[in-house]
């Protein structure tokens, strides 16, 4: 039996997660999704209109008929969701954008599930935790984004009994070495705030290398492979619960101290129910902020690359202003204070 919920043990403490214990971990989540749906009888997928390439590519590669639903500026589902699509042939794909928790969406999806819809819950930008409100038939995790490990992604379902025995191949090995280089370039840096000179130099060199490699690997699906056993072991033994709690604390701290005008959504509960990948803020020029933060040794993340609006372009104007501040569990109180001070000063100066 495979659980796609974390295993709660005594006193509510979560030490190990069945999620990762019983399931195969691929190099990337998109590869797991690709394999999982390869033989699916359903061939139509209802995707959010604001989505990353890692979600788009597996379904387009598999030749699914892709349909999109509108994503509100607070990530709410449309009132008439899912429209006239039937539960028989359409899979609903729901992303917890940035890991934000949206109670209204979840209530709606639970109701749809009880009506027979097959629902994929994308938790790539959050972590398994004891308090998470699970509802999907299958759940996606991308540990490389959240845990400071270079690779590791999976999809979990109660009916997933497939045992993938994937041959080692050179493309997969190349992908893994490239991912280890990339690791520190995301918002979840896996390191503390760094001295600015080193950080900028590192970024410059690594990006050069990465861009070249990324082209060769063509969306990374052909380089499918399983995660290295050392990474799997690490993931299996991490205490997700305490990592989530620390991230939630960090997010709450930023919520309370960042100037309110910067917050993406005003509801504190959306940031503090489950781990988020980065604290989302709204600024006119995310790249300008990114540079400013980098000068101050703070590693934030602008979403311009890799995320796409599938619907009308006017929505993109809004989403184009998203920026993620670091909240990962290695940050100290001093780091958090610095982030608040620097970001608030930036806002005051502009
Ligand atoms: C919401 C979401 N789901 C899934 C993925 C795919 O994860 P991976 O990069 O591990 O394939 C990503 C990353 O692009 C993502 O942001």
Output the CA 350–ligand 1 centroid distance in Å.
Answer: 33
Pocket residue to mutate for ligand 1, from 31, 47, 55, most atoms within 8 A of Cβ: 55
Using CA positions, which residue lies closest to atom 3 of ligand 1? Answer: 124
Note whether 145 and 267 are same-domain residues.
no
pLDDT > 90: percent of the chain:
41
Q: Which atom of ligand 1 has the smallest separation from the CA of 53?
A: 14
Q: What CATH number does residue 256 fall under?
A: 3.90.1150.10
CA distances from 344 to 17, 136, 212, 262 (A): 38, 38, 36, 9
DSSP per-residue string spanning 184-205 = GGSSS-SS----HHHHHHHHHH
pLDDT at 7: 46
pLDDT at 74: 85
Q: Which atom of ligand 1 has the smallest separation from the CA of 30?
A: 11
> Would 205 be classed as within a structural domain?
no
Output the CA 139–ligand 1 centroid distance in Å.
Answer: 12
- Structural contact between residues 6 and 123, judged by C-beta atoms closer than 8 angstroms: no
> Would 19 be classed as within a structural domain?
yes
Pocket residue to mutate for ligand 1, from 52, 102, 310, 322, most atoms within 8 A of Cβ: 52
Q: How far apart are CA 269 and CA 74, in angstroms?
A: 13
Output the CA 149–ligand 1 centroid distance in Å.
Answer: 14
Both tokens of 78, joined, read 């449309």
User: Which residue segment(s) compose the domain that 302 sits in?
Assistant: 240-349
Number of domains in the chain: 2
By mean pLDDT, which of 9-23, 89-103, 120-134 is the weakest?
Answer: 9-23
pLDDT at 264: 92
Q: Which atom of ligand 1 has the smallest separation from the CA of 51?
A: 1
26, β-bridge pairs: 153, 226
> Would 179 be classed as within a structural domain?
no
By mean pLDDT, which of 6-20, 44-58, 125-139, 229-243 is the weakest?
Answer: 6-20
> Would 15 be classed as within a structural domain?
yes
Output the CA 115–ligand 1 centroid distance in Å.
Answer: 28
* pLDDT at 324 exceeding the cut of 60: yes
Q: What CATH number does residue 114 fall under?
A: 3.40.640.10
């Amino acid at each position: 039996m495979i659980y796609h919920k974390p295993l709660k043990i005594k006193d509510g403490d979560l030490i190990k997660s069945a999620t990762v214990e019983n399931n195969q971990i691929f190099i990337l989540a998109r590869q797991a999704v690709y394999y999982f749906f390869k033989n699916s009888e359903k061939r139509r997928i209802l995707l959010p209109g604001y989505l990353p390439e890692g979600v788009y590519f597996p379904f387009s590669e598999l030749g699914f008929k892709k349909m999109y639903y509108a994503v509100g500026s607070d990530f709410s589902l449309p009132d008439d969701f899912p429209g006239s699509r039937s539960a028989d042939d359409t899979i609903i794909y729901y992303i917890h954008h940035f890991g934000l928790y949206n109670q209204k969406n979840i209530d709606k999806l639970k109701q749809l599930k009880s009506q027979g819809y097959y629902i994929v819950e994308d938790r790539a930008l959050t972590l398994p935790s004891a308090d998470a409100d699970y509802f999907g038939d299958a759940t996606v995790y991308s540990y490389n984004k959240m845990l400071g490990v270079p690779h590791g992604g999976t999809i979990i379902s109660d009916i997933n009994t497939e045992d993938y025995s994937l041959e080692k191949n050179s493309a997969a090995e190349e992908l893994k070495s490239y991912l280890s280089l990339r690791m520190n370039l995301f918002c979840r840096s896996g390191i503390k705030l760094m001295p600015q000179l080193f950080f900028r130099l590192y970024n410059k060199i690594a990006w050069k290398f990465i861009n070249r490699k990324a082209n060769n690997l063509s969306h990374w699906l052909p380089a499918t492979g399983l995660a290295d056993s050392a990474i799997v072991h690490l993931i299996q033994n991490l205490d997700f619960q305490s990592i989530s709690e620390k991230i939630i604390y960090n997010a709450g701290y930023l919520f309370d101290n960042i100037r309110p005008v910067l917050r993406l959504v005003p509801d504190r509960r959306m940031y503090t129910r489950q781990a988020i990948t980065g604290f989302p803020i709204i600024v006119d020029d995310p790249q300008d902020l990114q540079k400013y933060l980098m000068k101050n040794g703070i590693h934030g993340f602008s979403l311009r690359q890799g995320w796409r609006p599938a619907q009308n372009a006017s929505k993109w104007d809004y989403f184009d202003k998203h920026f993620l501040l670091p909240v990962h569990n290695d940050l100290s109180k001093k780091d958090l204070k610095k982030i608040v001070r620097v970001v608030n000063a930036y806002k005051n100066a502009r």
